[in-house]
Structure 1
Amino acid sequence: MRSEMRLALKVEELAVKGFLYLSILVVFGSLFGIFAHIFYHGIGRVNLHFLLAYPEDMGRAGGIFPAIMGTAWLVGLALAVAAPLGILGATYLTEYARKGPFVRIVRFGVDTLAGVPSIVFGLFGFAFLVIFCGFRWSVLSGGLTLAFMILPTIIKTTEESIKAVSNDYREASLSLGATKWQTVALVVLPAALPGILTGIILALGRAAGETAAILLTAGSSLTVPTSIMDPARSLPLHLYILVTEGISRENAYATACVLIILILIVNLTATYLMHRMVAKRLGIRKG
Structure 2
Amino acid sequence: MKQTTGERIFGYFNVAALCLLSLAALYPLVYVLFASFSDPGQLVQNRGFLLYPKGFDAESYRMVFKNPNIGTAYLNTVFYVVVGTAINIVLSAMAAYGLSRRDVMWKNVIMFGIVFTMFFEGGLIPTFLLVNNLGLLDTRWAIIIPSAISAFNLIIMRTAFQAIPVEIEESARLDGANDFRICWSIVFPLSMPVIAVMLLFYGVSHWNSWFSAMIYLQDRGLFPLQLILREILISNDTSDMLTSVSSGDQMPIGQTIKYATIIVATIPILCVYPFLQKYFVKGVMIGGVKG
TM-score (norm 2): 0.67
Q: Structure 1 residue aligned with 2:28, among 30, 34, 44?
A: 34
Asked if the contact 1:68/1:234 (under 8 Å) is kept, the reply is yes
Q: Which amino acid aligns with 1:262?
A: P
Q: Distance in 2 between matches of 1:87 and 1:233?
A: 29
Would you say 1:102 and 2:109 are equivalent positions? yes
Query: Partner of 1:234 in structure 2?
Result: 224
C-alpha deviation, 1:245, in angstroms: 1.7
Query: Partner of 1:138 in structure 2?
Result: 139
Q: What secondary structure, in the 3-state scheme, does the structure 1 residue paired with 2:175 have? A: coil
Q: Which amino acid aligns with 2:156?
A: T
Note closer, same or farther for the CA distance 1:165–1:13 as it changes in structure 2 (3 Å cut).
farther
> Identity rate of aligned residues, in percent?
13
Q: Which amino acid aligns with 1:30?
A: A
Query: Partner of 2:148 in structure 1?
Result: 147
Query: Partner of 1:189 in structure 2?
Result: 188
Q: Which amino acid aligns with 1:40?
A: F
Q: CA RMSD in A?
A: 3.6
Q: Which amino acid aligns with 1:186?
A: S
Would you say 1:76 and 2:78 are equivalent positions? no
Q: Structure 2 residue aligned with 1:54, among 60, 64, 68?
A: 68
Query: Partner of 2:218 in structure 1?
Result: 219
Query: Partner of 1:284 in structure 2?
Result: none
Q: Which amino acid aligns with 1:196?
A: I
Moved more, 65-74 or 43-52: 43-52
Q: How many residues align?
A: 240
User: Which protein, 1 or 2, shows the higher relative CO under an 8 Å CA cutoff with sep ≥ 6?
Assistant: 2
Note closer, same or farther for the CA distance 1:121–1:241 as it changes in structure 2 (3 Å cut).
farther
Q: Distance in 1 between matches of 2:184 and 2:143?
A: 31
Q: Which amino acid aligns with 1:31?
A: A
Asked if the contact 1:97/1:103 (under 8 Å) is kept, the reply is no
Q: What secondary structure, in the 3-state scheme, does the structure 1 residue paired with 2:156 have? A: helix
Q: Which amino acid aligns with 1:260?
A: T
User: Which consecutive segments of 4 or more residues in structure 1 shift more than 6 A?
Assistant: none
C-alpha deviation, 1:33, in angstroms: 1.3
Tell me, which stretches of 5 or more residues in structure 2 are unaligned?
38-57, 239-254, 281-291
Higher helix proportion, which one?
1
Tell me, which stretches of 5 or more residues in structure 1 are unaligned?
1-6, 56-63, 224-231, 276-287
Q: Which amino acid aligns with 1:234?
A: P
Q: Distance in 1 between matches of 2:59 and 2:155?
A: 40
Would you say 1:208 and 2:198 are equivalent positions? no
C-alpha deviation, 1:27, in angstroms: 4.2
